[in-house]
Structure 1
């Protein structure tokens, strides 16, 4: 076991697993993202593999499926024990806030690039990863409507941009109504991203090593009709129970950010919590 490069948190060696059985192909995306975050953020890696395990247990059919899942389960048990001092693993409230915070930061970066018409594979990767990480958040319980809608849009936009880059077509404007079939297809795409992608760098150029490994025929896209509303805004100055929950969530995000010495994100979320409580504005 080593230490996380940036914050001194323990890093477990990746699990030694048998080949992924064909019946469990649907969990390979979560396992790939877990590998991407292996040293960058071990807690994200842990929750991705736990989600993969839970999904796999619900679909296992053959003996080889169970052998694979038992090996994964063994790694998860050891990792949880060795990382018990890390609240983003041991405390589910902190873990959920951290996981959603990472996903939202990815989404916001991708959405900003998308609206500036910086169409490239890094933007696809960020949308895709955000959608998958929000999927992983379901290990903590059913996603609320806002998170579920953001997950749905992120997956759709990743698949849409991926197809447009392959076909040479111009992508539709951001935030149309997602096409259901394209969302489903997005979970079967083999994007073939490099694991060193870091949207925090702010670069919008395309890395030569980032190549989708298959081409999926473009699907007809639903014309722009409505912008997904990720958070409802209100003009009321009364603080409702829902707004109190929203303020608590921002405080959890801030705490999670400070764990990783991300002071700007912590300040931003604390300011958002204050706006909710002082002005009754959800942000």
Structure 2
């Protein structure tokens, strides 16, 4: 099914999921899952017809999840994958081997690292890398589109005497990744204008050629690797509740008055009783089963609204005869 225009913001993550489906199914699945989470945030403004794509994506991810290999900590695995991709792109960029594939590798690294948000807020260092990678992608893509070599990364140019006439303080470009002013770097320019560049030649196996960048240079002796260790504080206890001592006291439930209870009951979904002699046909049983499965899938993704709707349709299917279409009136 083609991606609707209304869901264009999630396209980069779906692209990464498609590219990595064979190379790393775990990263691929979580890229798709993050795309689904972002699509759910947009559903209030989605046309009704476009929700079909979201439901289809939900069912596809549920099937992929059942086939994933077991892994101790998916969050660490995905972060390390994104960090490695970023380092390869950054090493090639600082070695003067920057090209469009390098720019696309920066963008892919940013997308993969962004998907770590599904496990919690990004720490400051990862957020900075995402911002820098997107900025560098735009710089390289813009240079490619204009037919010129991309400017080297900040901090790699030879030192020259400063000239007041060159640039004002307001025109100072963002510093290199990891510089002292990195946290003050402005948001990267909109990358949309450069996304229509011709795709890079695919490498063997159908993967984009940016996946074939040379491995990152090993860290110098005494310098710890930049890949976050397993004991990263933001990944250590993903999904685990705090210890009992840290649990905040739960407030006592407020008594519900008879009037409130009546209002709550009035909002309940009422399914009419089946008519006398009604018998459920096999086709209705199959359709109701499909709707229940769809409702279960929705609950897996914390989508209560869709789950309730699908269950309601299943109940109607099992208790009411199909609505007959009105006969055509002859002219």
TM-score computed with the length of structure 2 as normaliser: 0.51
Instruction: Tell me the equivalent position of 2:196.
Output: 190
Instruction: Tell me the equivalent position of 2:116.
Output: 137
Instruction: Tell me the equivalent position of 1:128.
Output: 107
| SS at structure 2 position matched to 1:19 | coil
1:52 to 35, 46, 49: 35
Instruction: Tell me the equivalent position of 1:112.
Output: 91
2 CA distance for matches of 1:152 and 1:182? 7
Instruction: Tell me the equivalent position of 1:242.
Output: none
Instruction: Tell me the equivalent position of 1:86.
Output: 70
Instruction: Tell me the equivalent position of 1:26.
Output: 9
Instruction: Tell me the equivalent position of 1:64.
Output: 49
Number of residue pairs the alignment of both structures matches: 189
Q: Residue 155 of structure 1 contacts residue 186 of structure 1 at CA under 8 Å; is this kept in 2?
A: no
Instruction: Tell me the equivalent position of 2:79.
Output: 100
| SS at structure 1 position matched to 2:74 | helix
RMSD, aligned CA: 2.9
TM-score computed with the length of structure 1 as normaliser: 0.60
Structure 1 residue runs of 5 or longer lacking an equivalent are 1-17, 204-233, 235-244, 253-283
Shift in alpha-carbon separation, 1:184–1:141, aligned structure 2, 3 A = farther
Pairs within 5 Å for 1:1-283: 18-60=1-43, 61-83=46-68, 85-87=69-71, 94-175=73-154, 177=174, 180=186, 182-185=188-191, 189-191=195-197, 192-193=199-200, 194=202, 195-197=207-209, 199-200=211-212, 202=214, 248-249=231-232
Alignment deviations for residues 79-100 of structure 1 (CA, whole Å, 9 cap, x no partner): 21232x421xxx5xx1111111
Larger Rg: 1 or 2?
2
Q: Residue 160 of structure 1 contacts residue 182 of structure 1 at CA under 8 Å; is this kept in 2?
A: no
Shift in alpha-carbon separation, 1:97–1:58, aligned structure 2, 3 A = same
Q: Residue 46 of structure 1 contacts residue 79 of structure 1 at CA under 8 Å; is this kept in 2?
A: yes
Q: Residue 20 of structure 2 contacts residue 27 of structure 2 at CA under 8 Å; is this kept in 1?
A: yes
Shift of 1:198: 5.1
2 CA distance for matches of 1:96 and 1:41? 14
Structure 2 residue runs of 5 or longer lacking an equivalent are 155-172, 176-184, 216-222, 236-331
Instruction: Tell me the equivalent position of 1:276.
Output: none
2 CA distance for matches of 1:117 and 1:186? 25
The answer to which of 182-191 and 47-56 deviates more is 182-191
Structure with bigger helix share is: 1
